[in-house]
Every structure is written in structure tokens, then in C-alpha cells.
């Protein structure tokens, strides 16, 4: 096995191991949190951490049916696994933004998120997912042969993710509570590392964002506890 292959395997191992550890910490803390928004955020932190397993399953399905499946079974399998993965991923992001905005003392909007931005981000993801899930025989041949389809789908997902990350970064600057501010900072950084890591998977450089994601997610899980009650023994 070449050094390049070893680094690729190491990046995968870091992502999967860190996701389990962070999910365990977040979900274990959730029952101890007093406020519902923070219990929701702990839940989605755990679920979001596990979303990396969805990408792993999707890669396996791609290997079985091909990235552009030509059978009905392949189309359904790809649609199901990718739909679950992106539902979890963007649910994690949206839940964190909603909680962060409510943490702002003046409850200010950020980049029109509450005035249609959230819906726009959801629409971008749904449209991108629908295009990616359409059977190839429903699309013009030039759409696939020229790579226009995959480029468009990638652009839609990146646009939605970039917008949501900018909103979260802006909200972070407005939060006064140091505990909530710290959590929002680490969660925003983890989003960035996550997407960089996803788009670099399969290459040796993926080990860098994998390590960064593991660190930032662990820090965010460590700052989840805002108001807690003693766990029953």
C-alpha cells in the first residue's frame, strides 16, 4: 500500500471515529439540558456528526450501481441514501442557525434568514437533490456527457452551505453570552472543515480537514452544556 493510500485510509478513519465519539458525547448530554432549544441542538449535533456515515454508505452504493445508475433499483437506492444524508446534514445546520439567532439578545435577522433565506436554502438543497436523483433517462444526454448536471448539483449544494455558514458566522458576532458564543464559533468552524473534508475525500490531503473537523466538533460538543440539571442516577 502506498503512502498516499495510507493517508486516504487515515482520513476516513479519523472522520468515522470522531463522528462516533462526538455523537456519543452530544446525545449523552442531551437529557441533562434544561432548555428545549439546547436539547434540540445537542440532538442535531449528534445526528450531524453521524452524517459522515451516510456519505460512506453513499460511496458504497455508488460503487455497486455506479454514480449514474442506469437501473430502477440503482436510482431508488441512490435517491434513498443521498436523501437521508443531506436531510441529516442540512437539518443539523438549520437547527444550529435557528438556535443561534434566538441566542441574540435583540433577536436580529442575519442576511434575511428569517425573511425567506432559510426557505431559499432549503429549496436549493431540494432542487439539487431532485436533479441528482432523477433517472438518467429523464435528462438530456448532453446534460450528463458534458458534466453540466453534476456541476449544477454541486454548485447548488455549495451555495446553500456557504450561505448558511455566512449566516451562522454573522450571528456569532452578535451573541453576547460567552458560552453560546464559544459553541457557535466551534460549530461554524466544524461546518467549514466538514465540507472541505467531504469534497477532498479520496485524496491524501483529506487528512488535514479530517483532523480539523475532529478537533472542532469535539470542542463544540464540549461547549454544549448551557444550562443543565443533574442526571438521575
Mean of all residue pLDDT scores within the chain? 83
Grade residue 204 by pLDDT with cuts at 50, 70 and 90: confident
Alpha-carbon dihedral angle through residues 192, 92, 231, 21, given to the nearest 10 degrees: -50
Taking 50 as the threshold, does the pLDDT of residue 231 lie above it? no
State whether the Cα torsion 81-69-124-19 is positive or negative: positive
Taking 90 as the threshold, does the pLDDT of residue 31 lie above it? no
Q: Which of 204, 167, 190 lies closest to 10 in space, CA to CA?
A: 204
User: What pLDDT is stored for residue 92 in this prediction?
Assistant: 84
Grade residue 213 by pLDDT with cuts at 50, 70 and 90: very high
Q: Average pLDDT of 199-217?
A: 89
Grade residue 54 by pLDDT with cuts at 50, 70 and 90: confident
Percentage of the chain lying above the pLDDT 90 cut = 16
Q: Average pLDDT of 121-145?
A: 76
pTM, entire model: 0.79
- Please give the C-alpha separations between residue 54 and each of 39, 57, 89, 98, in angstroms, as whole numbers: 23, 5, 9, 24
Grade residue 63 by pLDDT with cuts at 50, 70 and 90: confident
Three cell numbers written together for 176: 453576547
User: What pLDDT is stored for residue 229 in this prediction?
Assistant: 55
Phi, psi (rounded to 5 degrees) for 223: -110, 15
Grade residue 56 by pLDDT with cuts at 50, 70 and 90: confident
Taking 90 as the threshold, does the pLDDT of residue 20 lie above it? yes
Rounded to an integer, what distance in angstroms lies between the CA atom of residue 110 and that of residue 164?
10
Q: Which of 40, 42, 75, 45 lies closest to 61 in space, CA to CA?
A: 75
- Please give the C-alpha separations between residue 136 and each of 130, 146, 147, in angstroms, as whole numbers: 12, 13, 12
Grade residue 226 by pLDDT with cuts at 50, 70 and 90: low
Higher pLDDT, 3 or 190: 190
Q: Which of 137, 151, 133 lies closest to 78 in space, CA to CA?
A: 133
Q: Average pLDDT of 141-147?
A: 60
Fold that domain 3-222 belongs to in CATH: Rhopdopsin 7-helix transmembrane proteins (1.20.1070)
Amino acid at each position: 500500500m502506498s503512502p498516499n493510500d495510507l493517508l486516504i485510509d487515515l482520513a476516513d478513519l479519523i472522520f468515522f471515529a470522531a463522528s462516533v465519539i462526538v455523537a456519543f458525547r452530544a446525545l449523552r448530554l442531551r437529557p441533562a439540558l434544561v432548555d428545549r432549544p439546547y436539547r434540540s441542538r445537542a440532538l442535531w449535533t449528534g445526528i450531524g456528526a453521524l452524517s459522515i456515515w451516510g456519505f460512506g454508505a453513499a460511496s458504497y452504493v455508488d460503487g455497486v450501481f455506479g454514480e449514474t445508475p442506469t437501473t430502477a433499483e440503482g436510482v431508488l437506492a441512490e435517491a434513498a441514501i443521498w436523501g437521508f444524508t443531506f436531510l441529516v446534514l442540512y437539518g443539523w445546520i438549520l437547527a444550529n442557525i435557528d438556535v443561534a439567532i434566538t441566542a441574540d439578545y435583540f433577536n436580529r435577522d442575519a442576511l434575511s434568514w428569517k425573511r425567506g433565506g432559510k426557505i431559499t436554502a432549503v429549496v436549493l438543497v431540494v432542487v439539487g437533490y431532485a436533479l441528482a436523483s432523477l433517472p438518467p433517462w429523464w435528462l438530456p444526454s448532453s446534460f450528463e456527457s458534458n458534466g453540466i448536471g453534476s456541476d449544477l448539483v454541486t454548485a447548488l449544494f455549495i451555495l446553500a452551505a456557504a450561505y448558511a455558514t455566512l449566516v451562522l458566522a454573522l450571528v456569532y458576532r452578535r451573541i453576547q453570552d460567552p458560552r453560546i458564543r464559544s459553541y457557535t464559533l466551534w460549530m461554524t468552524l466544524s461546518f467549514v472543515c466538514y465540507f472541505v473534508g467531504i469534497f477532498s475525500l479520496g485524496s491524501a490531503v483529506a487528512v488535514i480537514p479530517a483532523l480539523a473537523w475532529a478537533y472542532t466538533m469535539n470542542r463544540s460538543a464540549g461547549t454544549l452544556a448551557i444550562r443543565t440539571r443533574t442526571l438521575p442516577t
